[in-house]
Structure 1
């Protein structure tokens, strides 16, 4: 098979395989050759990825070899090289040949390789790659890293009712900020049970979504989710927990409206935050009469402020935020303008892109 196909398959496999494994077989990739294709399967017992590539198969067979080692070999072989994999049965080795290079890798029995039980999927639908990419990309920054609140360690995907009808919705929150992203509900997704897709799975899924023309077949049960293209299948357990009632924390009565150029705002926040102490990184926003003054006052390291021309016509407001949270939310805006809706200095703030309500963000203020 061609080196590029092997490298692509092994890149996906080795990113699923954990570096430190107490169970040796979990460090390996299962290679199965049959017909005119070879498949590479890797798992960490929570996620399983299968990558299929076209190959000239002279004899069908299967074996397992260390995933990271085979990935490194593929990475270091010259571009365009043809790679031959052959099972050296009696010695329990896999021979890898490319040009004048020859490697012999230790194998483990294929029978020991754990297969993820195929669940009975309740719901199946097809979704364009760009739609899924937007849903997960815009939500994932708000995933919690706090292991104790494990039910927040992923993106909650479910069918919901949006302002204009049924939607496929992704939500993530860590208690300090929240992202709620909507897309039109695909045909067949009406009965979708709400599932929490783990952070690592979201990262692996991203690699399937780069092809704008791809259609992703999504299958969901209460315990598993599967994303598939003709060449790749990614199956994952979902987080066994209840996602909180996020609708309660999305403010509906915020009337003070600030409209600002998103990239100018992000750059200004980044500049003034340079002097703040890393621990809190609090930035104060002072608003009145189409003016926004961003300021940081860090007694131990200095102070900074910057003024921006904005659209703001409400009464004067001073409110503080964690700079990192502001930067992450502003970084989600694809259009020019970000709209912030405030209530008071102590209440959650809503942010969206212009008047688009398919992407809504909430951020909790800080005392400054």
Structure 2
């Protein structure tokens, strides 16, 4: 874990208290879009955690379990010249999620005149402190090396599809019932105008569904774990009616993004990467 601050901790603490780092709602949004890809394996602390990055006016959370990765970031009211990179354990993420929910509930009960519940980040050498709803929450940072996530996210995809998000989620839910219980594997076949989803197992037989989509590339079939796609779609269900699916080769990862509206796209950026599997 590294913490890069241009001023001393005490000076930064004073500066950070002067401005709102984030709203409780935004913290909840960051966690809700990334928690699903944190590894539950506490013997791998670098994956059983979330990378929380703050760079002046941008705030970011990244998680990966080695099979998939999610990154959510947003524009905030920043503090010039201050940056932080903090590796937060899963248990702390769970507590922060609860605190953010409580702060939002209290803010809703108090009414608009009380203002938006805020979260202030105060980093130190081995801990991070979050001020939420008037309370101070201390987190012991994970001492491990988080994967170089920027290298995992493809810079571009040779095939791009625009898919109705709700219909995609429904199809995955239905077809995955026939998937192998151990692997959860399904096949996605992209052809011009159509997405075909299939699965099969000796116990459940075969599952097949098709749905229309906006895609004009060449046909390709790739296997994936259905749950990984379902988790992404659940996380972005309120971000728009469509998702963008980027693919290149049969052994390359899938890239998923919500089709944000014009205003949301100015503030938020989300990407999920899912590794393929042989079926």
The reply to whether TM is greater than 0.5 is: yes
Indicate the residue corresponding to 2:273 in structure 1: 362
Counterpart of 2:3 in structure 1 is: none
**Runs (5+) with no aligned partner, structure 1:** 1-118
Report the secondary structure of 1:147's partner residue: coil
From 192, 210, 232, the equivalent of 1:329 is 232
Change in CA separation of 1:306 and 1:243 when aligned onto 2, cut-off 3 Å? same
Looking at structure 2, the residues matched to 216 and 154 of structure 1 have their Cα atoms a distance apart, in angstroms, of 20
More strand by percentage: 1
Counterparts of 1:345-360 in structure 2 under 5 Å?
345-354=250-259, 356=265, 358-360=269-271
Aligned length: 246
Which residue in the other structure is 2:100 paired with? Answer: 209
**What's the counterpart of residue 176 of structure 2?**
273
Looking at structure 2, the residues matched to 254 and 299 of structure 1 have their Cα atoms a distance apart, in angstroms, of 34
Structure 1 residues 264 and 132, CA, compared in 2 at 3 Å: closer, same or farther? Answer: same
Identify the residue that residue 191 of structure 2 maps to in structure 1.
288
Return the alpha-carbon distance in structure 2 between the equivalents of residues 157 and 189 of structure 1: 18
Q: How far did residue 275 of structure 1 move? A: 1.5
**Closer, same or farther: CA 217–309 of 1 in aligned 2, 3 Å:** same
Distance across 1 between alignment mates of 2:133 and 2:149? 35
CA contact (8 A) 2:24 2:132 kept: no
Deviations 1:136-182 (A, max 9, x none): 11111111122332111111011359xxxx52111000111111111
Aligned to 1:135: 30
Deviations 1:208-247 (A, max 9, x none): 2231620112211231111113532211101111211100
Say whether 1:145 aligns with 2:56.
Answer: no
Q: CA offsets per residue over residues 51-101 of structure 1, 9 Å max, x none? A: xxxxxxxxxxxxxxxxxxxxxxxxxxxxxxxxxxxxxxxxxxxxxxxxxxx
In 2: Cα distance, 1:256 partner to 1:230 partner:
45
1:172 lines up with 2:83 in the alignment:
no
Match of 1:186 among 57, 60, 77: 77
CA distance in 2 between partners of 1:121 and 1:297 (Å): 60
**Partners of 2:118 and 2:133 within 8 A in 1:** no
Normalising to structure 1: TM-score of the pair? 0.63
Counterpart contact for 1:160–1:167, Cα < 8 Å? yes
Q: Which moved more, 1:231-240 or 1:187-196?
A: 187-196
How many Å separate the matches in 1 of 2:69 and 2:170?
22
Contact 1:121–1:219 (Cα < 8 Å) also in 2: no
The Cα of 1:120 is off from its aligned counterpart by 5.7
TM-score, with normalisation over the residues of structure 2?
0.82
Secondary structure at 1:219 match in 2: strand
Following superposition, the deviation at residue 330 of structure 1 comes to: 1.2
Relative to structure 1, the CA distance from residue 160 to residue 350 in structure 2 (aligned partners, 3 Å threshold; closer, same or farther) is: farther
RMSD: 2.0
Would the alpha carbon gap of residues 241 and 122 (structure 1) be closer, same or farther in structure 2, given more than 3 Å must change?
farther
Higher relative contact order (CA 8 A, sep 6+): 2
